[in-house]
Chains A and B, each alone.
Chain A
Amino acid sequence: MIKVAILSKSYGDTQVLGRVEFAVQAGETVALVGPSGIGKSTILRIVAGIDGAFEGQVERPDAAAIVFQEPTLLPWRSALDNLLLTCPGLKRDAALHALDRVGLAGKDKEFPGQLSLGQQRRLSLARAFAGRPGMLILDEPFVSLDPHMADTMMTLTEDLIAEARPATLLVTHAEAEANRLADRVLRLQGDPATLKAES
């Protein structure tokens, strides 16, 4: 379960976030939507534990995973090593199975640069789910994909979420994406940004 209680977040003298409180249950997918620049990514960084400079508190499971807009892989390590290095304790067989699950069977020895962009995104998904995360953060992972590829990747993501059932926070500006993947949609509004009451 993810429990977020942000009181405020500022960059210098500029307050970008006001009170933002929500929780995401295990197995639940919550989408955070809002216009560009409102602070979605700031909340994501706080929830992920990347940004600790804020007022408030976040409770999150130990095992966390993230899928960025870009694949963000280690280009100097093989596909298999990209999984093994980021998921301590993951066995080789389990890592190979995770690659197989996203359609990358037989690609374990290849470097990310040898894979197509679509395959790199699949590898990024495999990495996220290989460690059986309690918390999954999706940062606009389908934003730059063509409609067909986006649909394929969303279906794969839905299947993986249904299998692993992590508490998932999806940050997106695409309503259709949010409506398809999420159980609940939270909207950011105002300056500093706060959550609009759920309808």
Chain B
Amino acid sequence: MPDNRATPFLSILGLLTLWVVAALLTDDPQTLPTPWQLIPLFQRELASGELVHHLGATLIRVMWAFTLAMGFGVALGIVMGRSERVNRWLDPWLVIFLNLPALVLIVLCYLWIGLTEIAAILAVTFNKIPNVATVVREGARALSPDLDAMAKVYRMSWLARLRHVVLPQLAPFIAAAARGGVAVIWKIVLVVEFLGRSSGIGFQIHLYFQLFDVAMVLVYALSFIFVMLLVEWAILQPWERRVRRWRSA
């Protein structure tokens, strides 16, 4: 049995092997280059500063959209989960926005606000808020009434209740929404950049799509996937372990 910690690396190695086999069978670098054929292209883009510039632009948009979507989504989810009346009013909105294609929101934001940074970030944020709110609402519905009563009797301030009573109960739901959120948000950011920005991974993919350059599309896409894996392993997973440490204590 391999060490559990090695499993993710072995899994990724398996995916790479699959890619190499497919590339060798295709035998056409224009259609599917091998991983080692991308290395010089990656080094060139890195040396020129282009890759860092576009990675940075996308990362900033992802961070803004993620922060806004999580902030508003969590707040909306808590309110809807706690108040049946508010939920009755807002649930139909949630259903509509959940089923509204991301592309429609992106196009509308660009049409109404213009091809600006704000429009791009808002388009991504509006796409993600309903998902976050839906997940967190379920958590808010399951909040312990006993802890609620305890906090009320001991007259804990609303801030203390939120921080020490409500949010720890919602942590698994918020973590699930955050993990799903990061993955979806960066994909929508790429579409937003593809359609209306002059920087970012999405913009570069659009450029190389027009040039039919599969290798460069892969260089930019894989670079950002690597960054997002780093975010997952270096930020999200340690944070999740920290908020759950009381369970394993």
Contact = CB atoms under 8 A, between A and B. Distances in A.
Contacts of A70: 146
Most buried by B among A45, A76, A137: A76
Interface string B139-157: 0000000110111111111
Give the interface SS of chain B, mostly helix, strand, loop or mixed: helix
B44 interface: no
Q: Is the interface of A mostly helix, strand, loop or mixed?
A: loop
Given A70-B146, A72-B147, A75-B246, A131 B154 contact: yes
A77 B152 CA distance: 18
Given A76-B168, A77-B164, A85-B160, 20 more contacts: A45-B149, A48-B152, A62-B155, A64-B153, A64-B155, A65-B153, A66-B154, A72-B146, A74-B147, A74-B168, A76-B171, A76-B246, A81-B164, A85-B156, A86-B154, A87-B154, A88-B160, A110-B249, A111-B249, A113-B246
Contacts of A113: 246-247, 249
Contacts of B147: 72, 74
30 contacts: A48-B152, A48-B153, A49-B152, A49-B153, A50-B149, A62-B155, A64-B153, A64-B154, A66-B149, A66-B150, A66-B153, A68-B150, A72-B146, A74-B165, A75-B246, A76-B171, A76-B243, A76-B246, A77-B164, A77-B168, A77-B246, A85-B160, A86-B150, A88-B156, A110-B249, A111-B246, A111-B249, A113-B249, A114-B249, A137-B153
Interface in B197-249: 243, 246-247, 249
B164 to A, nearest CB: 5
Given A49-B152, A137-B153, A68 B165 contact: no
A133 B70 CA distance: 39
A80 B146 CA distance: 20
Contacts of B165: 74
Contacts of B156: 85-86, 88
Pick the 6 closest A-B CB pairs, nearest first: A86-B154, A76-B168, A76-B246, A66-B153, A111-B246, A50-B149
A68 B249 contact: no
Contacts of B247: 113
A72 B150 CA distance: 7
A65 B154 contact: yes
Nearest to B155: A64
A49 B151 CA distance: 11
Contacts of A85: 156, 160, 164
Interface string A89-128: 0000000000000000000001101100000000000010
A87 B160 CA distance: 11
Determine which residue in B150, B160, B165, B246 has the highest number of CB atoms from chain A within 10 A of its CB, and name it. Answer: B150
Nearest to B164: A85
A127 B152 CA distance: 14
Contacts of A72: 146-147, 149-150
Contacts of B249: 110-111, 113-114
Interface string B58-101: 00000000000000000000000000000000000000000000
B146 A68 contact: yes
Contacts of B171: 76
B128 to A, nearest CB: 27
Nearest to A87: B154
Contacts of B164: 74, 77, 81, 85
Interface in B158-180: 160, 164-165, 168, 171
A134 B150 CA distance: 16
B185 to A, nearest CB: 28
Contacts of B154: 64-66, 86-87, 127, 131
B239 to A, nearest CB: 14
A70 to B, nearest CB: 7
